[in-house]
Structure formats: C-alpha cells, structure tokens
Chains A and B, each alone.
Chain A
C-alpha cells in the first residue's frame, strides 16, 4: 500500500505510529489482530527503511545484511542462507565484502532494504525510501523493491510524495492531506476516477473548469462554462442548476488544427518538448490556459505557438465535482502545511 501526499500531510507521523516510534493520541493499531499500542518498536516485528539509509559504515554489506538475524540469535546456517538469498535477489552478491562508502547510492539503498527484509519481519514500512536517489535510479529501484516484497509475500506500507512512483507499484494508493486520508483506491481507480478535486490534482495533472450544470438526464450532463461554452460528461454529476467543477486530464483530449470543428477553440500559447510527449498550453477566450499533452513522434512538429486549435474532450473523460464550499483554489492547494 502506498501513501502519497504533500510534505507536511502527516504520512511520516502515520508511519511512525505504526512503527511504535510515536504514540497515537487516540485510537488503536492492530497487526494480525494483536493490539500494538503498548509495544515498543523492537517488539512489533516491523522492518523500517528510511530515506537516508544508515548502513553501519564499519561493516561490510554482508555484515550489514546479517546484522538482524545475528542479533536475533539465528543459527549461523540460517543466517548465511538468508543473507545469500537476499544478496542474490538484489544482485549484490559480488559486492558482499564492500563497505558502504564504496557503493553507489542505489546499491546502498538496496542493501538497506535487504537488511530490513532479512530481519524476518512480515511488515515493512518504507519512509520515502527512494528520496535521496537520482531520478533514473529511483525509477529502476522502485520496481526492484516491489518485486522483492511480492516475491517474499510481505506486507508493505510505502510513503512517498511522488505520485508516479505510487501509481506504478501500489496495489492500493492512499491520498493524504493535512492529516486525513482523502481517498483510497487502486492506481487505476485513482487516476481515472478520482473521487475528490484534491485527488484529481495531486495524482496526475488536470485542467479544472468552473461552470454550471445545464441539464443532467442521468446518462449525460451538459455543463456551461467560460463564455457560453458547453461541455458534455458521462460521469456522475451534481444536479441541474448546481455549480460544478469539471476536471479534464491533458492527455485525455483530442486536439485538431484549425477552428472550424466542434469543440473548445483556442490558440497555442506555449509549447514544451518533454521527450516522448509534447505539452501545449492553449489559450481559451473567457477561461485562460488549457493544458494538453500529445505523443511526440520523431520528426513531427504538429503545432506552433499561435496556431488555432480545437480541443475535444471525450465525455467519459470529463470528471465532475460539486463546487467546493471554500472555493476552488483552496481545494487545489497542494501544500497542506508550513
């Protein structure tokens, strides 16, 4: 399970409660039906992986990984077998005699994960385990960790601020904001049908349009927004006459050059080349900038700044939310606390 949320939302505090490093002010924590409240961390049977992996600098990789088993008094045979298995799984058998300072950041992190896993816990808590690593290494390592946890049939609670990381490895994702669980769902559910505006904004990117429901016949709703523009949605909708916020992801729309088609008309204002995709901001009169993202094929350069374009949003990709009581900006704020 991956918990994702902005800095300060409480994810680390939550993990610390589970680990026993912090006592909850209210409520109980159960592992497999056993009450944990009065148990100190070392008796909870939990493995903890921090962002700044603190390997024992004077011990080799092998000694670091076998530390837990040795401290728990395992037989040397069992210790050796376990360590060998883990080092093999993280592909560091050739480095078992190396010291932490001789390893790359990624290798150190993997060793830290192996150390936590080799201690025999069935529950592993990951606290931003990839935060200190280079972008590319983060991507590679997240799958390795995921596979390791799955192959060992462990339960893992992993916290991160990186929503792409969350989507790519979680069975379920929890979105947290200002101390509360705002949404829970599979990556797919959370991305395609977020239940809240915050969820839609924090996980992935979205354009948010304010409007009013003109008519809602149960299957399709029509929304009026901007300067008399109309939008159709096939998703759950507030009732007729209600104020509404529509969320549309940049990659879900169809963009065509010209201005004689049906759809949202505007002019390309900015273009950002992202490698495999290009992101455009289209200025829509009476609204502002609408972001679209399209695959960028080798050699193609579909739109230039200033081009007139028409954006079509498939009705099943238009998500609707009741207009928030405290205003849209507050809901979109991805910084929960100082």
Chain B
C-alpha cells in the first residue's frame, strides 16, 4: 500500500538549492504529476524518492517508514529515468518480463504480465523484436511497460512519454492513467507538459526552482492558481498591470496605464495598491461590440490558426496586449489583422495578484 510522505525535504548541490523545504503527502493509489520547467528540480525529487540521492534535510517516508537510509534496491520502487536502458541482448518481451521473473514469478505469469503491459503501450506486436530494431519512441514505451510490469506498486516516471510523437503521446497518456488505476499503483509522474499533467493527474504539484508553488487537483490549480507563475504555467493567460482606484467591497476598479479601467470582483486589495490582473485567454472574447462588464478597444495584430480554435492577439489603445482563444468563426465572420476589435471579459473572470518585486515578466518567465 504505497503511501509516500515528504517532510521538509531539502537537497543542495554545492551552492544550488535543488529542492527546498518540500512537503507532500501522497495517498495510496494516487496519481501525482510533478509539473515544472526544465531545471526546476523535478528529476532531483524523484531520485530522492527512488533512493539514488540522500536528502540533506527532512525525511522521506514510504508506507509510514522513514527510508532516508534505505538503499534504492531495497525500496521496492519502479523508477523509470529519462535516460533509461533496455537489455540489448533480450527481446522486448523478455525485457519487460525481467522484473516479475526476478521477483520469483513463474515464466507463464511473468510473460502474461509482460504481454499486458506491452498491450498498454501498443507494442504487443513487437514482443519478439530486439531493442536495436526499434525507434527511440518505441524503446521508451518498452521501458515504460517494464516499469508497469515490474510488480512494484510505487512507480516513479521521469518524463515517460517525452520521446513520443505528439499524436501518440496524447493517446498513451489516457492509457497510462487507466492502467495505473486498474493495477492500483501509486504513481509520481514528472513532466514539463501542463496539458499532460491536467489529463493524468489526481493532483498536480507545480515546482519552480526547487520550491513547491501549488498542490491541487487539475481543476483547482487551473481555476484558482495561487500565484502568477502557476497562472502562466498552467493554461494560457493574459497579464495586465494597474492600480486599484476604488474598492466598495462588492467590486473594485483597477486603472491600467493610459487610463483604461477594469472592473474586478476581487476585493481584498486596497485603493492605491499596485496589482497584476490575470485573465484566461478562453475567457477573453474578441467581438465587434462590447459584450461584457469589461470591454477594452484594440486592434488585431496577429491571428493564429490552431485547428479547433483561433488565437487572436489585440493591441489595446494603451499598448497592452491581450490574447483570446476563440472557436473558429465562419468565413464571413473571419477577422483580419488590423481590424478594430473589442476585447471583452467578465469581472468574475479576472484574477488579481500582488505585483511581484521583479515585475510580471520576470516572475512568469519560463525560458
């Protein structure tokens, strides 16, 4: 019944705090995604749980037992690193059956388990191939199947789908989650792809520069990001900066540069305070006439076709830029760069945050 607790875990490499003061309680059977940009400490975190690194501070508990001093091979964890290695002299099936066989399962059971895992990653047709005959993406899937078949109930997956084509990646993430649930596995899945995290996770941990930014269900993290970094990293958002000019406890007004005003329903900031506003791109509409509480005029400066939607960027009269994600319009209603437009959004859809010390841009910077 793998439950994993991390209590105030820190890990340093020289002067770099790779993981700082990390705290989480992962329940038995839970699917956790650790989400963050490259370099945020995600790999360090899984290596700590796997036992390949020892924390400088804090405790790691698996099933209520402190495992800081327990070596990796005795932790009963299946760890799939980003640099995985398959046995080149064994067939795909034998690679995947290796785990169950070494745990004492008989040949038939081990092969059956291996075959089921290969079906999940859609490679049951290549069971007799050797790793060298497969593409990079296929090899990654074999490594994933090997983790699933290992017999361990706690899986640590470090970017398990990164080598796959976009299309296949989308397909496999659904299967991965349902397989983990049907096997009753506790999974810690590391990724930089927020869409992937949204789909597979029971809860998401957003990590940045070694520190936890927010933990919550995908729904919660998406609807109520705790800070600007999370608001930018998960989903697509617009950010505007302004000063609160009025607050009458049911709504407030924020004045942007150039005198543009935005009505918000967040009333915890006082008049005179500088704030950062966050509006999701799908909550922003681009229309010919004002349609909501807030309607700021602008000019279309870019239109991107995304297949199932358009992303329209408009420059407001004060120079600020707003992006909107809208359904693809009919040919007659198709907008053009240079069109005058009204960007509309409801006051209830505006998130209000304190302006960070180093400014909005540096705070949300991912690369």
Measured CB to CB, the nearest residue on chain B to A103 is: B367
Measured CB to CB, the nearest residue on chain A to B122 is: A335
Give how many A residues have a beta carbon under 8 Å from the other chain's beta carbons: 47
- Interface size bracket, B side: 35 or more
Does B69 belong to the interface (CB within 8 Å)?
Answer: no
Binds B, one of A21-29, A70-78, A132-140, A235-243: A132-140
In the complex, what's the smallest C-beta–C-beta distance from B159 to chain A, in angstroms? 10
With a 10 A CB-CB cut-off, give which of B199, B233, B302, B367 has the most chain A CB atoms: B367
Q: Which residues of B contact A187 (CB under 8 A)?
A: 305, 307
Given the known interface contacts A105-B38, A272-B199, the answer about A298 and B135 at a Cβ–Cβ threshold of 8 Å is no
Q: Which residues of A contact B192 (CB under 8 A)?
A: 134-136
B199 & A203 in contact (Cβ 8 Å cutoff): no
Does B283 belong to the interface (CB within 8 Å)?
Answer: yes
> Which of B166, B174, B233, B305 lies in contact with A136, CB distance below 8 A?
B233
A276 & B193 in contact (Cβ 8 Å cutoff): no
Given the known interface contacts A167-B305, A168-B306, the answer about A295 and B282 at a Cβ–Cβ threshold of 8 Å is yes
B37 & A276 in contact (Cβ 8 Å cutoff): no
A338 & B306 in contact (Cβ 8 Å cutoff): no
Does A8 belong to the interface (CB within 8 Å)?
Answer: yes
Does A188 belong to the interface (CB within 8 Å)?
Answer: yes
In the complex, what's the smallest C-beta–C-beta distance from B184 to chain A, in angstroms? 19
B282 & A276 in contact (Cβ 8 Å cutoff): yes
Q: Which residues of B contact A276 (CB under 8 A)?
A: 235-236, 280-282, 325
Does B138 belong to the interface (CB within 8 Å)?
Answer: yes
A residues 260-314 with Cβ under 8 Å of B?
272-277, 293, 295, 297-299
A residues 66-120 with Cβ under 8 Å of B?
104-107
Does A52 belong to the interface (CB within 8 Å)?
Answer: no
* Complexed CA–CA distance, A202 and B167 (Å): 7
Q: Which residues of A contact B122 (CB under 8 A)?
A: 335
* Complexed CA–CA distance, A163 and B218 (Å): 25
> Which of A107, A135, A167 lies in contact with B306, CB distance below 8 A?
A167
Measured CB to CB, the nearest residue on chain A to B313 is: A143
A274 & B195 in contact (Cβ 8 Å cutoff): yes
Given the known interface contacts A136-B37, A137-B367, A293-B308, the answer about A163 and B167 at a Cβ–Cβ threshold of 8 Å is yes
With a 10 A CB-CB cut-off, give which of B134, B137, B198, B366 has the most chain A CB atoms: B366
Q: Which residues of B contact A251 (CB under 8 A)?
A: 308-309, 327
A106 & B367 in contact (Cβ 8 Å cutoff): yes
Measured CB to CB, the nearest residue on chain B to A337 is: B135
Does B165 belong to the interface (CB within 8 Å)?
Answer: yes
A163 & B283 in contact (Cβ 8 Å cutoff): no
Does A161 belong to the interface (CB within 8 Å)?
Answer: yes
* Complexed CA–CA distance, A191 and B137 (Å): 26
Does B85 belong to the interface (CB within 8 Å)?
Answer: no
> Which of A106, A168, A299 lies in contact with B305, CB distance below 8 A?
A168
Interface string of A188-200 (1 = CB under 8 A from B): 1001000000000
In the complex, what's the smallest C-beta–C-beta distance from B366 to chain A, in angstroms? 5
Does A7 belong to the interface (CB within 8 Å)?
Answer: yes
Q: Which residues of A contact B170 (CB under 8 A)?
A: 205
Given the known interface contacts A135-B195, A187-B305, the answer about A107 and B367 at a Cβ–Cβ threshold of 8 Å is yes
In the complex, what's the smallest C-beta–C-beta distance from B176 to chain A, in angstroms? 13
Q: Which residues of B contact A249 (CB under 8 A)?
A: 308
Q: Which residues of B contact A104 (CB under 8 A)?
A: 38-39, 367
Q: Which residues of B contact A (CB under 8 A)?
A: 37-39, 122, 126, 129, 133-138, 165-168, 170, 174, 192-196, 198-199, 218-219, 222-223, 233-236, 280-283, 302, 304-309, 311, 325, 327, 348-349, 366-367
Can you show 12 pairs from A to B with CB atoms below 8 A apart? A6-B167, A134-B193, A135-B194, A161-B165, A162-B165, A168-B304, A251-B327, A276-B236, A276-B282, A298-B283, A334-B165, A338-B129
